[in-house]
Chains A and B, each alone.
Chain A
Amino acid sequence: MVDRQLELLQGTLDLLILKAVSLGPLHGYGVLLRIQQISKDRLEIQQGSLYPALYRLEDQGWIASEWGESENKRKAKFYRLTAEGKKRLQSEEEKWNRMAEVIAGILKTTPEEL
């Protein structure tokens, strides 16, 4: 475990949620666990901010929800990716990768290259 968690960049929570539910339906708490698991706990996520993001994504039709049973036999609301959400995830992914590439390129620049 690292000492310090990274603060989430503005606007990236939506992308992470979409990615998390693309691997299989999850309830809200499950989304949190999945992100922490994949990120190896290196990201700091405000738990309370998760739900407004879920509601917003659902309102936009990228994820859908239904009530089901959790692993410990309790009623929980599960979210899954919709077809539209899949497309959205792809385009967001590409955008993110391009952006990361560009930023990385800029940061690698040395004075000689100018």
Chain B
Amino acid sequence: MSVWHRVGAWAGANLRRSRMESEMDAEMRFHVEARAEDLMRRGIASAEALRQARVEFGGLEQAKEECRDARGVTVVDNFVQDVKFGARMLRKNPGFAAVAVLTLALGIGANAAIFTVINAVLLRPLAVQHPEQLVAVGDPARVHAWSNGTPQTNSFSYPLYREVREQNEVFSSLLATSRLDNARIVLDQGAEDLQVRVVSENYFETLGVEALIGRTFTSADGGAPGKDPVAVISYAYWKKRFVGSAGVLGKTVQLNGTPMTIIGVTGPKFQGEVVEDQPDLWAPMMMEPLLMPQKPYLKTANISALLLVGRLKPGVTMQQAKANLDGLVRRAWTGPLDAILSADDRNALRNDKIDVQVSYGGRGLSQVRVEFGEPLWLLMGMVGLVLVVACINVANLMLARSAARQKEMAVRLAVGAAAGRVVRQLLTESLLLAALGGALGLLLAKWGAVALVRMAEAGSGVRSRLELDWRVLGFTAGVCLLAAMLFGLGPALRFVRVKVGAALGEGTRYAGSRMKVQTGRLLLSAQIAVGVFVLMGAGLMVRSLWKLQGADLGYSRDKLLLVRVDLGASGYQGEAIHRATQELLDRFAALPGVKGATASTNGLYSGSESADVILLDGALPTNGDKDSADDEIGPNYFSTIGVPMVMGREITPEDFSRRARVAVVNETFSKTYFGDRNPLGHSVGIQDADHPNTPPYEIVGVAKDVRDRSVRKPARRRMYAPLNAGGFDETGAINFEIRTENPGALLNLVRTTVLGVNREMRMDDPETANNLVGETLGSQVMAARLSALFGGLVLLLVCIGLYGSMAYNVAMRTKEIGLRMALGIPRAAVLWMVAREAWLVLAVGALVGVPAGILGSRVFQSMLFEVGGGDPVSIGWAILLLIGVCLAAAIAPARRATRVDPMVALRYE
């Protein structure tokens, strides 16, 4: 239905309603007048006749109301009336309205903000045709993964992709996608880095995405390697760099040194298949050897860097797809791909269980989803509780107001308003409050969701996907409705039970106050219990984060600076890489304050990793753990990053200069393969098809384990060999580790030093090791900060609620307090009488909240680190904070109570 239709229907209904009103009026007036005329004909005077006719007719308004009922328009009518009346009531109590609306806005806004992020990361389908038909093949979290070694199926190699694409019986179309690392474009305005994805030529066709202008790739763009230098750019990039001009079509740009012609621009909605990415440009996969000359992957089965997305044929299930793919992959290894497999890969694959991961792909691929999914649901639960606390506050406010309104309600009931109608009126007022709070909350949410994603550093793609779509609006409306029921229904039902006579007869002050106090106490205790629960959760998250940040990773990360330089992408090859590495090491070592510099291929928290099948003393390991992680390192690696040697020595500059074939292994390696035996002097080799004849290394040392990938995961078994000894696959990207007194001050100097060697050098921003470790804790940081924030919000709400309630009680009991003081009760006793309330509520709340918190923490156990649900520090802090808040809330009302002047109080009323 279009907007105009709706407006038309609404206007029509209004018109009908007003016509009905006037007709009803005319009809009944006619009746009364006709009757009066008849009476006059019998000789009654006209004024008396009219009066009698009216009396005979009975209640005119009641008749009209019943007519409206008979017509069924009353629901809307009543609602409009209720809303108008409710708005009037709120305007009459602006203080109450403002506090209630603000409280609700905070609660609803926090919920809407978290849900907006959940929606963007976890729920929203891709902006493509029929996303429900898409499935992801491989591990959808490996969006930036690159595996060089034994063929994988969590990401695919290009030859395996071709095989699966051509032979499968389950997909109408199957695309492949991978990232182009360190992409750099040269435009007329100059050079810049940009986000590029390298995709199969059927990419846009499979997704059903069409070009806004120009064209997307066709099957002609996938003919032969390097033959189709064309590119499609995104709408955002087009607007940003080409001011949205159609002249961009046919323009040639330099992408990583290769001339590419722009042939099309995608529509504004399309942002690619990776949730957290916002690609600027897509290039056909056939151009990959030119764009990434160091890592050409079209011909080898050993580089697994592709994720696949398929469109299921009608009627095919995911299980069928998986079964088909498992069989296909197995046949591919023994059949068509056998020729390009090395002997050891063949061996490895023969024994491997083939298990291709097939999952729903309509929501896109994402690493962030895996990382942030659980924390987001945890936060959603927390803000849900924040909303409960906010609702209890509003319910308390409404209860307090109910005493004042009891007379009004009694009057309405007495003059014949149906109880249901009164409840409806009160609920409408609640809904109105919730709707106002919700509207304000949405504003908060829009801002909050962006702040949240920025804080989490979840990627620009997520930020641009945040949108107040129908899911968010629907969710917020649902939350408003729920909130209104939560804080509105109780007080509303209470009114109906009011005894009309009693309420009208008594002074309003004491009507039902006993019950109100009881209900109020119950609500406050519940609020404290929820507060304890939330604060404990926040405490556990914050403590986990601290423990994670302070965890002993096996090396000393203070005063360590890291920089990754991609020598391969900068044009270096073979020996030149070693020479440039050495030159950079020398220059870093000469910088002021630097105590030492070293290098490694995989480095610390760099994101790259490698593993190979190893040979111990010339034979495959006998215990079944065939492969080990490895790394190639520079001189004095261990002493520079601060890892103690357990046995033997580290790799020295002398080893380096004579290219000694020596290796260091870590403790886990030693334990796995040698047990209690001494590994020194044994030989370890790499079984690698690309380097079949490299001699083995002699183990000269055992180093302590280093948790160099994840703070949570234990170290893997690992062997270290000199960077320049050869025998490993070379990507040409080197991580440098620099030990210095003042890493922060050196960041810029390091950058200029690198550029001093070669102005075209490609590098990641230099970072301190502490920062880099911090980044891997992104989701943990987000969860901890936000739960602390929500904990603070809960404290604030509890404080406001408690204060309001106590202030109200003191005001109610002024007379009683005055009387007691007149009878000579000491101030301290009065003080205790008032404060007792707060302590009682606190004690009951804590007694319920602490066990609930301990139980509840099991839900997010996996996010905790070295703290248990019963962590006494978290429980202690939660209770201490609440005691503090109770004190703060109780002080002012209690002091007011002790200052009551008995004479004034007794004269009161």
**Which residues on A are within 8 Å of B, measured CB to CB?**
27-29, 32, 46-49, 51-53, 55-56, 59, 70, 72, 74-77
**Which residues of chain A are within 8 angstroms of B58 by Cβ–Cβ distance?**
46-49
B16-57: contact bitstring with A at CB < 8 Å (1 yes, 0 no)? Answer: 000000011011101100110100000000000000000011
Contact A55 to B37, CB < 8 A, known contacts A48-B59, A75-B30, A77-B23: no
| Smallest CB separation, A90 vs chain B (Å) | 23
**Known contacts A51-B28, A52-B69, A70-B34; 16 further A-B pairs (Cβ under 8 A):** A28-B31, A29-B31, A29-B34, A32-B31, A47-B57, A47-B58, A48-B63, A49-B63, A49-B66, A51-B31, A51-B67, A56-B70, A59-B70, A70-B30, A72-B34, A75-B30
Contact B56 A47 (CB under 8 A): yes
Contact B71 A59 (CB under 8 A): yes
**Which residues of chain A are within 8 angstroms of B26 by Cβ–Cβ distance?**
75, 77
| Smallest CB separation, A64 vs chain B (Å) | 14
B62 at the interface (CB under 8 A from A): yes
**Which residues of chain A are within 8 angstroms of B755 by Cβ–Cβ distance?**
none
**Which residues of chain A are within 8 angstroms of B30 by Cβ–Cβ distance?**
27-29, 70, 74-77
* Residue from the set B27, B35, B58 with the largest chain A CB neighbour count within 10 Å: B27
The CA of A47 and the CA of B31, in the complex, are separated in Å by: 9
The CA of A28 and the CA of B24, in the complex, are separated in Å by: 11
Count of chain B residues with a beta carbon within 8 Å of a chain A beta carbon: 23
Contact A59 B72 (CB under 8 A): yes
A-B contact pairs, 29 of them (CB 8 A): A27-B27, A27-B30, A28-B28, A28-B31, A29-B30, A29-B34, A32-B31, A47-B31, A48-B58, A48-B62, A48-B63, A51-B24, A51-B27, A51-B28, A52-B63, A52-B66, A52-B69, A52-B70, A53-B70, A55-B67, A55-B71, A56-B70, A59-B71, A59-B72, A70-B34, A72-B34, A74-B30, A77-B27, A77-B30
**Which residues of chain A are within 8 angstroms of B56 by Cβ–Cβ distance?**
47
The CA of A103 and the CA of B62, in the complex, are separated in Å by: 35
The CA of A55 and the CA of B30, in the complex, are separated in Å by: 16
**Which residues on B are within 8 Å of A, measured CB to CB?**
23-24, 26-28, 30-31, 34-35, 37, 56-60, 62-63, 66-67, 69-72
Contact A72 B37 (CB under 8 A): yes
**Which residues of chain B are within 8 angstroms of A29 by Cβ–Cβ distance?**
30-31, 34-35
**Which residues of chain A are within 8 angstroms of B57 by Cβ–Cβ distance?**
47-48
Contact B23 A48 (CB under 8 A): no
The CA of A48 and the CA of B31, in the complex, are separated in Å by: 10
The CA of A27 and the CA of B28, in the complex, are separated in Å by: 11
The CA of A46 and the CA of B62, in the complex, are separated in Å by: 12
Contact A48 to B60, CB < 8 A, known contacts A29-B35, A72-B37, A76-B30: yes
Contact B67 A52 (CB under 8 A): yes
**Which residues of chain B are within 8 angstroms of A28 by Cβ–Cβ distance?**
27-28, 30-31
B55 (CB) vs chain A CBs: closest residue: A47
| Smallest CB separation, B313 vs chain A (Å) | 52
The CA of A56 and the CA of B26, in the complex, are separated in Å by: 18
The CA of A71 and the CA of B24, in the complex, are separated in Å by: 20
| Smallest CB separation, A72 vs chain B (Å) | 7
**Which residues of chain A are within 8 angstroms of B31 by Cβ–Cβ distance?**
28-29, 32, 47, 51
The CA of A72 and the CA of B33, in the complex, are separated in Å by: 12
5 closest cross-chain pairs (CB), A and B: A48-B58, A52-B66, A55-B70, A56-B70, A48-B63
**Which residues of chain B are within 8 angstroms of A75 by Cβ–Cβ distance?**
26, 30
B66 (CB) vs chain A CBs: closest residue: A52
**Which residues of chain A are within 8 angstroms of B59 by Cβ–Cβ distance?**
48
B28 (CB) vs chain A CBs: closest residue: A51
The CA of A56 and the CA of B63, in the complex, are separated in Å by: 12
The CA of A55 and the CA of B57, in the complex, are separated in Å by: 16
| Smallest CB separation, A26 vs chain B (Å) | 12
| Smallest CB separation, A6 vs chain B (Å) | 17
* Residue from the set B26, B31, B57, B62 with the largest chain A CB neighbour count within 10 Å: B31
**Which residues of chain B are within 8 angstroms of A77 by Cβ–Cβ distance?**
23, 26-27, 30
**Which residues of chain B are within 8 angstroms of A47 by Cβ–Cβ distance?**
31, 35, 56-58
* Residue from the set A51, A72, A74, A76 with the largest chain B CB neighbour count within 10 Å: A51
The CA of A48 and the CA of B27, in the complex, are separated in Å by: 12
The CA of A11 and the CA of B31, in the complex, are separated in Å by: 23
| Smallest CB separation, A71 vs chain B (Å) | 9
The CA of A104 and the CA of B69, in the complex, are separated in Å by: 36
The CA of A34 and the CA of B67, in the complex, are separated in Å by: 21
**Which residues of chain A are within 8 angstroms of B28 by Cβ–Cβ distance?**
28, 51
| Smallest CB separation, A66 vs chain B (Å) | 11
| Smallest CB separation, A35 vs chain B (Å) | 14
The CA of A59 and the CA of B71, in the complex, are separated in Å by: 6
B59 (CB) vs chain A CBs: closest residue: A48
**Which residues of chain A are within 8 angstroms of B63 by Cβ–Cβ distance?**
48-49, 51-52
| Smallest CB separation, B883 vs chain A (Å) | 62
The CA of A49 and the CA of B27, in the complex, are separated in Å by: 14
The CA of A74 and the CA of B30, in the complex, are separated in Å by: 8
The CA of A46 and the CA of B56, in the complex, are separated in Å by: 8
**Which residues of chain A are within 8 angstroms of B71 by Cβ–Cβ distance?**
55, 59
**Which residues of chain A are within 8 angstroms of B72 by Cβ–Cβ distance?**
59
| Smallest CB separation, B59 vs chain A (Å) | 6
| Smallest CB separation, A79 vs chain B (Å) | 10
B20 (CB) vs chain A CBs: closest residue: A55
The CA of A72 and the CA of B40, in the complex, are separated in Å by: 15
| Smallest CB separation, A13 vs chain B (Å) | 12
| Smallest CB separation, A48 vs chain B (Å) | 3
| Smallest CB separation, A60 vs chain B (Å) | 9
The CA of A7 and the CA of B879, in the complex, are separated in Å by: 71
| Smallest CB separation, A74 vs chain B (Å) | 7
**Which residues of chain B are within 8 angstroms of A52 by Cβ–Cβ distance?**
63, 66-67, 69-70
The CA of A8 and the CA of B28, in the complex, are separated in Å by: 22
* Residue from the set A46, A47, A59, A74 with the largest chain B CB neighbour count within 10 Å: A47
The CA of A48 and the CA of B57, in the complex, are separated in Å by: 5
**Which residues of chain B are within 8 angstroms of A32 by Cβ–Cβ distance?**
31
